[in-house]
A and B are shown apart, each in its own frame.
Chain A
Amino acid sequence: MKTPEQTRHNPVLPQLTYRVWRVWRRDFDVFMKTYKVSFIPPLLEPIFYLAAFGLGLGQFVTGIPGTFIQFIAPALVSITIMYSSFFECTYGSFVRMYFQKTFDAIISTPISIEEVIAGELLWGATRSLIGGIIVLAVVAAFGLVSSPLSLLIPLVAFATGLTFSAIGMCFTSLAHNIDFFNYPQFLFITPMFLLSGTFFPITVLPSYVQAFAYAALPLTHTVSLTRALMLGSFDTTLILSLVWIAVVTPVFFVLAIKLMKKKLIK
């Protein structure tokens, strides 16, 4: 006789077991099944950006350290990190939850809803990791990576990928139909794409916009960390970024699980 698995209902923290990885593995298997579709976009997209900005716009940009494409290379990695996990845990998770009823099927097995959501979040972070590594390899191939510390970028990809996953999943918990995601996309992702120190140094922005970017736009921290590691230049704001990620990610991770449980279990 196996030992009984008593469910302990903790009011704050979700009870998670190794079964989280079973959910992660399901998503991974689907990803690998369509690996051609999965791998090619992150491979090609940065090349288009590098062409547009390096051969085009970059000609007109002066007054930043290094060349313009050196400046935006870490941003390209960061943007992929953001998109991969945010879209995975919004559109992707919503389709699995709502149209495919995949979550319903899984929670009819010993896996709990908390574990399903945690698995989805870890998978979202994994998408960021994979996407981030591919773009990093592309920009490295173009000679845009100068510091060996770039090898730590995958860690940033996974950690901040988890942040974007968790925030995305919170939006998913509010979504009643798939069109809802237009709101976070245009009101959150697009401003973040433009204002997080991606295509110009954040320091040129008015101080209140900078403060907003540091407080509410996670991509700002992804870009700072990735840029520092890629160029091997560090300053004290990086500590702020590390602390921000370390505090915000667990909060949204737990919140996403709570909100999704509330949505799904009536």
Chain B
Amino acid sequence: MSPKVLIKAENLTKKYGAFLAVDSINFEVYQAECCGFLGPNGAGKTTTIRMIHCFLPITSGKLTVADMSVQDRERDIKKMIGVSPQETNLDPDFSVIKNLTVYARYFDIPKAEATRKADALLKFFQLEEKRDVEVDELSTGMKRRLILARALINDPQILLLDEPTTGLDPQARHLIWDKIRELKKQGVTIILTTHYMEEAAELCDRVLIVDTGKIIEEGKPSELVEKHAGEEVLEVDNEEQILKTLKEKFPEARLDVLGEKILVFTNEPHGVFVKFLQDFPLKGATVRRANLEDVFLKLTGRKLRD
């Protein structure tokens, strides 16, 4: 049985004045998957997410959520989505618990049920002790967890996470990863944007790589790594002689010269670099597994975006 399509974009386009933020993209998100949107700053990830939850109107094309068009079923779509935006927009006029119960009221959740749900969510995100604290007193990591808790108050079928771990310490990040995995197990469909490729590889079943408003590649993280970066990467110091040797030894391989380092990508099987280094012990050489970051940089280039 093929997976059910929950979100579908056809020639989806968004313009801000003359600026083309999203350029006629097509994609599908399947029920109960975690789909990553990866791309440099300004690629159009946040704009796409905002169109999905009807925060921004689309300019042209078609976008449906559970077969409902974002153009005429805004409320029904918003009822089934939970959003964790990039920017903190917790209500600073309220305490932690009140942030959740007031938000629940926006979804017409009755008071008793809202309080019960809010307490359960605070427990889930380990915030029970902060229940009656003002939001301004929370650390960055706690605020982020509270935003996630708030995004779940309406039991959403779809969760949109726009850079949920940016600026967090590793402890907080791992806690959030655990929670995202748990939600995925419960069958929640998740769209995640992140600048941490490790995070995308860890959590996403599938990623879309977006650049300048277009989707330039998509697939499972492991497949993309295999396709674009190969098995292993050799990193050595950048010297003319070494470069020459590498070109002779690996005529098929892709060589990236990055300032002080040379990166060698190969599709040859595991161990080829180790064997090479036994014959030619090079200064500062390391062999590592290819990863999603290699893919990302290959496809989107190394030029700074902002």
Contact in complex: B72, A6 (CB < 8 Å): yes
Interface residues of A in 7-33 (CB under 8 A from B): 7, 19, 22, 25-26, 29-30, 33
Contact in complex: A100, B76 (CB < 8 Å): no
Known: A5-B73, A7-B72, A110-B79. A101 touches B89 (CB 8 A): yes
Does B93 belong to the interface (CB within 8 Å)? yes
Known: A100-B91, A100-B92. A7 touches B74 (CB 8 A): yes
A105 to B81, CA, bound (A): 13
Q: Which of these, B72, B83, B90, contacts A108 with CB under 8 Å? A: B83
CB contacts (< 8 Å) of A25 on chain B: these are 105
A25 to B107, CA, bound (A): 13
Q: Which of these, A102, A110, A265, contacts B78 with CB under 8 Å? A: A110
CB contacts (< 8 Å) of A108 on chain B: these are 53, 55, 78, 81, 83, 85
Residue of A nearest to B53 (CB): A108
CB contacts (< 8 Å) of B56 on chain A: these are 265-266
Contact in complex: A104, B85 (CB < 8 Å): yes
Residue of A nearest to B73 (CB): A4
Min distance, Cβ B58 to any Cβ of chain A, angstroms: 12
A108 to B107, CA, bound (A): 10
Residue of A nearest to B105 (CB): A22
Known: A22-B106, A110-B106. A5 touches B76 (CB 8 A): yes
Q: Which of these, B57, B76, B90, contacts A265 with CB under 8 Å? A: B57
Q: Which of these, B89, B102, B107, contacts A110 with CB under 8 Å? A: B107
Contact in complex: B106, A100 (CB < 8 Å): no
Residue of A nearest to B151 (CB): A108
| A contact residues, range | 20 to 34
CB contacts (< 8 Å) of B16 on chain A: these are 266
CB contacts (< 8 Å) of A105 on chain B: these are 85, 89-91, 103
Residue of B nearest to A27 (CB): B93
Min distance, Cβ B175 to any Cβ of chain A, angstroms: 23
CB contacts (< 8 Å) of A240 on chain B: these are none
A34 to B27, CA, bound (A): 48
CB contacts (< 8 Å) of B71 on chain A: these are 7
Min distance, Cβ A24 to any Cβ of chain B, angstroms: 11
A22 to B79, CA, bound (A): 15
CB contacts (< 8 Å) of B102 on chain A: these are 26, 29
Does B306 belong to the interface (CB within 8 Å)? no
Does A109 belong to the interface (CB within 8 Å)? yes
Interface string of B133-161 (1 = CB under 8 A from A): 00000000000000000000010000000
Interface string of A20-64 (1 = CB under 8 A from B): 001001100110010000000000000000000000000000000
Residue of A nearest to B107 (CB): A109
Does A106 belong to the interface (CB within 8 Å)? yes
Interface residues of A in 135-169 (CB under 8 A from B): none
Does A112 belong to the interface (CB within 8 Å)? yes
CB contacts (< 8 Å) of B68 on chain A: these are 4
Interface string of A71-107 (1 = CB under 8 A from B): 0000000000000000000000000000011101111
A159 to B57, CA, bound (A): 34
Min distance, Cβ A91 to any Cβ of chain B, angstroms: 14
A219 to B56, CA, bound (A): 38
Residue of A nearest to B101 (CB): A29
Does B75 belong to the interface (CB within 8 Å)? yes
| Interface residue ranges, B against A (CB under 8 Å) | 16, 53, 55-57, 68, 71-76, 78-79, 81, 83, 85, 87-94, 98, 102-103, 105-108, 154
With A110-B106, A110-B108 given, can you name 5 additional A-B contacts, CB distance below 8 Å?
A7-B73, A102-B93, A104-B87, A105-B89, A111-B106
9 nearest A-B residue pairs (beta carbon): A101-B89, A109-B106, A105-B89, A30-B93, A5-B75, A110-B75, A108-B83, A110-B78, A104-B89
